[in-house]
A and B are shown apart, each in its own frame.
Chain A
Amino acid sequence: MDFKINGRAVSYDGDGEMPLLWYLRDLEGMTGTKFGCGAGLCGACTVHVDGMAVRSCQTWMDDVDGTEVTTIEGLGNGETLHALQVAWAENDVPQCGYCQSGQIMQAASLLAENPNPTDEEIDVAMSGNICRCGTYQRIKKSIRDVASGKVKGGTI
């Protein structure tokens, strides 16, 4: 199967039932996408396929043929980061940091679809992503800061 990862063309002819998660982490060495539960329950492995947030542990290689996959490594543009990445830094969101790739990818997908979500809409969109450190209120604030235009993309 042929597809793109962060704009780079790749092709794969192995087991089509391999989850995208393990392809990214083990075969491509792109470890920004995290392994949390392997069952679509925690959101740590969230990436975009054709702009939609998906759990890469529940996305099979067969399904990514012909698609454009975006991971946390490709969300920003070099040193110029996505507004959410900047907001995450400004609000000092991460504690351990492990779930945050997935949180940011989920939030980016939410804002792409709904640029000005209500608090309830944020809760609904983000409730599939667990943060065991409990950074939720700062995640919520960061999403609001980007939605309101208070924080824009740039460097940190």
Chain B
Amino acid sequence: MSLHIENVSRRGILKGAGIVGGLVLTAPLMSKGLLAEIKKASGMLEATNYLSISEDGTVNIYIHRVEMGQGSRTGLPQIIADELEADWSRINFVAAFGDQKFGDQNTDGSTSIRKFYDTFRHAGAAARMMLEQAAAKKWDVDASQVEAREHRIVNKATGDSADFSEFVTAAAELPVPAVDKVTFKSKDQHRFIGKPVRNIYMKDFVTGSSQFGQDVRREGMLYAVAMRPPVLGGKLKGYNKEAAMAVSGVVDVVELPAFEKPIMFKPLGGVAVLATNTYAAKKGLEALAAEFEAGDNGGYDTAAYEQTLWQSIEGEDVNFLKRGDVDGALSSAAKVVEADYFVPHLHHAPMEPPAATAEWRDGKLMMWVCCQDPQSVQQTVAPYVGLKPEDVHVEATLLGGAFGRKSKPDFAAEAAILAKHAGKPVKMVWTREDDMQHSYYHTISAQRVKAAIDADGKVTAYKHKSAFPSIFEIFNPATEHPVPLEMGLGLLDIPFETANMQIDAGRARGHVRIGWMRSVTNIQHAFAVGSFVDELAEATGKRTDAMWMELIGSDRTLDPAKDGADYFNYGESLERHPLETARLKGVLKKVVEMSGYGKKMPKGHGLGLSVHRSFVTYVATVVEVAVDGDGNLSVPRAWVAADCGLAVNPDRVKSQMEGAVVFGTSIALHGEITAKDGIIEQTNFDGYPVCRMNECPHVEVAILETTGVPGGVGEPGVPPVAPAITNAIFAATGNRIRRLPIGHQLSA
């Protein structure tokens, strides 16, 4: 990784940045993400600028990533504070606005810690060394004779010490140490890294004073709600403006610009009502009774579309990985095991529906948005209001959950358009119904898996085909089958040592907006692979953990490119984050040990197991289910073993794994978005249930730290959950669930 730290305070550009005097460090850093290709095309500069120390010794940490529950706004400062030897109580946590100078702000793909650990560590360490050098100079001793300790510099010979503030001005005049000269603390010296530091927003959370996108208020602000075409690409036909304007509190009715392909993050069109409060706006919208024409996607029916996907599975193969001769091995097999899996559209349903506030100020636009990527808001909004992206100032508020939905800022563009029209600040409020019906849904998928088993019960070939509409169709309408990135999430990295392997995709087109949701296509791929290994264990009379061990085989690193695959590895090099079978086996062994997997269970109870690497983190999950005589399912307990490399904040890692089990249980038990006549049929949490307290297992988490390099945390806990649950159901009842959600399949 190239890293160059520059002391910009020497260039005298601090004025206007709100910091007078002091030390400021900046470091360009190349970074890839899920949208790396789009960013390359837009010429976005990747750089970051995140630490300054004021003359009074206050450490200002600019946290350029957003907070949506994953804990990054606590974890990232832990890294700087530790290497700097800062006093946590003297840190000024600044939530950074959207600006290319901060580098990649797209808080997505479980990247915040894994992509910025080195950068933040270097920043803290470089600043500490500069303070130490300034002190050594002042005290006329060698730099080796002083050391930073809890916001002071200590003279090791005399024991004298002085506060950081004594040296800030002098340190700002010093050159930044060369990257290869920066020294880091050893693990045993860490005070924050690897420690369960409390969330920096805790008090705000428990007292209700935290500000989310929905909570923004500006002087003279209007509240907007909108009716959008119920069918993607539909057109506004008519509405009763007079009736809406007659509602007390309604100020205006404004048509939103009609939607045109490509989908991108564009608003959907429709018509908005502006009012002095949300209630009046909603009442006005009801009176407006807007009508729409359906358009091209009016025939979309998910039940019928499932058959289209199975036809695609039967049809032409688009090959992504090939090793040996799978068809030859299948034709000469003693036994062939085959299974089909189906996963419906899913929706993020964050507790906070999307919201954005826009206000014009001196010909520029100020925005407060619960967005995952403030730079993407700038890029998306600018063309709609005739500004350059840099003239759209975006503050990322706290996000009341996001799970991928809020990296698509269509709702922010709506707010900007309406604020420009109204000449007043406008908050665009999405209701829960808007959120359910106008999401970027997790794709809908069909998969067929086959394996050849020889006379000795050994698996000799593995063939897997996956058909689903691709996310990338929203950027490139010509996309007609999954892309390597999506196939790389759980298929191109299948860790089996099997001599013959083939991974194919089928063609499919989308009729709703398809987007990424927490762990993305790993959801359906891990469900199919995790279920199929359980089926192979059954077919060969083995325990599922033993089946996994046999399929994974020897300790080694994998390189899917050797089998012709274009493998993404979550934007990481295989040198920094290799695919290591030993780590996969490590979490598997650990979770078996924790859960007692394999032990005899009471009647109607079963344990299910699955393991999966995603976002360069390895997670194994065991779930216990109970199924009564009427087919009522409960999920009392779960165990998770996770190897995410270095865990910067172990308690937040643990909490992400606990939450991932709940998220995965919701997917398995209930998750299903359906469309009829192009319209999403679910409107609220009654139609799209998510797990409540009484349905959720108690989760026990073990964190294995086998390397010092951090991996992803927010997403990798999700993929193994659904197959672990359905495998547990098989263990409890002999009933094999191959389509999600489980729903009423057990009582049918």
Which A residues are closer than 8 A to B by beta carbons?
A: 14-15, 18-19, 22-23, 25-27, 29-39, 41-42, 44, 71-73, 75-76, 81, 85, 88-89, 92, 94-101, 104, 122-124, 126-140, 156
How far, in angstroms, from A48 to B659 measured CA to CA in the complex?
28
Residues of B within 8 A of A (CB): 67-71, 196, 198-199, 201-212, 214-215, 217, 223, 248, 277-279, 349-353, 398-403, 429, 431-433, 651-652, 655-656, 658-663, 684-686, 690-694, 696, 698-699
State the 10 A-B residue pairs at the shortest beta-carbon distance, nearest first: A32-B208, A134-B662, A98-B400, A96-B69, A95-B69, A72-B208, A134-B659, A97-B205, A31-B215, A26-B277
Q: Looking at the complex, which one of B68, B207, B663 makes contact with A32 (CB distance below 8 Å)?
A: B207
Question: Do residues A71 and B208 form an inter-chain contact, with CB atoms below 8 A?
Answer: yes
> In angstroms, how far is the closest chain A Cβ from the Cβ of B196?
7
In the complex, 13 of the A-B residue pairs with CB atoms within 8 angstroms, ordered by the A residue number, are: A15-B248, A18-B277, A26-B278, A26-B279, A35-B353, A39-B432, A95-B655, A97-B210, A98-B352, A127-B694, A132-B350, A137-B698, A138-B658
List 15 additional A-B contacts (Cβ < 8 Å) besides A95-B70, A97-B69: A27-B277, A31-B214, A35-B214, A73-B207, A81-B206, A89-B203, A94-B202, A96-B67, A96-B68, A96-B351, A98-B350, A132-B663, A134-B658, A136-B693, A139-B693
With A92-B651, A96-B399 already in contact, the answer to whether A42 and B686 are too (CB < 8 A) is no
Q: Is the CB of B203 within 8 A of A124?
A: no
Smallest beta-carbon distance A62→chain B, Å: 13
Are B691's CB and A98's CB within 8 A? no
Residue from B69, B206, B217, B223 with most neighbouring chain A CB atoms (10 Å): B206
Which B residues are in CB contact (< 8 Å) with A85? 206-207
Q: Is the CB of A133 within 8 A of B196?
A: no
| Chain B nearest Cβ from A124, distance in angstroms | 7
Minimum CB–CB distance from B399 to chain A (whole Å) comes to 6
Q: How far is the CA of A19 from the CA of B686 in the complex (A)?
A: 20
Asked whether A100 and B205 contact (CB < 8 A) given A27-B277, A123-B694, the answer is yes
Q: Which residues of A contact B651 (CB under 8 A)?
A: 92
Do the beta carbons of B351 and A130 come within 8 Å of each other?
Answer: yes
| Residues of chain B lying within 8 A (CB to CB) of residue A30 | 208
Query: Is A38 within 8 A of B432, CB to CB?
Result: yes
Choose one: A34, A39, A92, A122; the contact of B351 (CB below 8 Å): A34
- Distance (Å) between the CB of B373 and the closest chain A CB? 17
Give Cα A140–Cα B658 distance, bound, in whole angstroms. Answer: 13
Complex contact A94–B205 (CB within 8 A) = yes
Complex-state Cα separation, A104 to B211, whole angstroms: 17
Q: Hey, which chain B residues are within 8 Å of A23, CB to CB?
A: 279
Asked if B208 and A42 make an inter-chain contact with CB atoms under 8 angstroms apart, the answer reads no
Distance (Å) between the CB of B284 and the closest chain A CB? 12
C-alpha gap A51/B352 in the complex (Å): 26
Q: Which chain B positions have C-beta within 8 A of A22? A: 277-279
Residues of A close to B350: CB separation below 8 A: 96, 98, 132
Is the Cβ of B400 less than 8 Å from the Cβ of A42?
no
Q: How far is the CA of A27 from the CA of B655 in the complex (A)?
A: 36
Set of chain B residues within 8 Å of A75, measured between Cβ atoms = 207
Give B152 Cβ to nearest chain A Cβ, in Å. 27
A72–B207 contact, CB under 8 A? yes
A15 to B284 alpha-carbon distance, docked (Å): 14
User: Which of chain A's residues has its CB closest to B209's CB?
Assistant: A32
Q: How far is the CA of A97 from the CA of B213 in the complex (A)?
A: 13
Closest to A137 in B: B698
Say yes or no: A96 contacts B214, CB within 8 Å.
no
Which B residues lie within 8 Å of A126 (CB)? 692-693
Give Cα distance in the complex from A18 to B278, angstroms: 10
User: Closest residue of chain B to A71, judged by CB?
Assistant: B208
Residues in B whose Cβ lies below 8 Å from that of A137: 658, 696, 698-699
Smallest Cβ-Cβ distance to A92: which chain B residue: B651
In the assembled complex, how far is the CB of residue B647 from the closest CB belonging to chain A, in whole angstroms?
14
Q: How far is the CB of B562 from chain A (nearest CB, A)?
A: 38
Which residue of the partner chain, among B71, B196, B206, B698, contacts A100 with CB atoms under 8 Å?
B206
A-side contacts of B349, CB under 8 Å: 132
CB-based contact B659/A31 at 8 Å: no
Contact of B691 among A27, A35, A134 (CB under 8 A): A134
Most-contacted residue by chain B among A26, A33, A94, A131 (CB, 10 A): A26
Closest to A30 in B: B208
Query: CA–CA, A128 to B685, complex, Å?
Result: 11
Q: CA–CA, A131 to B658, complex, Å?
A: 12
- A81/B693 contact (C-beta < 8 A), A132-B351, A137-B699 known: no
B398 touches A31 (CB 8 A): no
B611 → A minimal CB distance (Å): 20
Q: Which residue from A32, A98, A123 sits with its C-beta under 8 Å from B401?
A: A98
A41 to B433, CA, bound (A): 12
Collect the chain A residues with CB atoms within 8 Å of residue B691's CB.
Answer: 134
Contacts of B431 in A (CB 8 A): 38
A127 touches B692 (CB 8 A): yes
Most A Cβ at <10 Å: residue of B205, B208, B403, B685: B208
Interface centre among A14, A36, A104, A128 (most CB of B within 10 A): A36
Minimum CB–CB distance from A25 to chain B (whole Å) comes to 7
- Does the CB pair A96–B398 fall under 8 Å? yes
Distance in Å: Cβ of B665 to nearest Cβ of chain A: 8
Task: Please name all residues of chain A whose beta carbon is closer than 8 Å to the beta carbon of B71 when the two chains form the complex.
Answer: 95
* Closest Cβ neighbor of A123 among chain B residues: B694
A36-B432, A97-B69 known; A19-B279 Cβ under 8 A: yes
User: Would you give the shortest CB distance from A51 to chain B, in whole angstroms?
Assistant: 18
Is A94 within 8 A of B206, CB to CB?
A: yes
Taking the closest CB of chain A, its distance from the CB of B24, in whole angstroms, is 30
Q: In the assembled complex, how far is the CB of residue B510 from the closest CB belonging to chain A, in whole angstroms? A: 25
Decide yes or no: A81 and B207 within 8 Å by CB, A26-B223, A123-B693, A132-B350 being known contacts.
Answer: yes
Kindly name the residue among B211, B212, B403 whose own CB sees the greatest number of chain A CB atoms within 10 A: B212
**Complex interface: chain B residues within 8 A of A44 (CB):** 351
**What is the distance, in angstroms, from B656's C-beta to the closest C-beta of chain A?**
8
Of the listed residues A18, A22, A36, A132, the one surrounded by the most CB atoms of chain B closer than 10 A to its CB is: A132
Docked-complex contact B659 and A135, CB < 8 angstroms: yes
- B residues near A130, Cβ cutoff 8 Å: 351, 685, 690, 692
Do residues B400 and A89 form an inter-chain contact, with CB atoms below 8 A? no
In the complex the two chains form, is A89's CB within 8 Å of B198's CB? yes
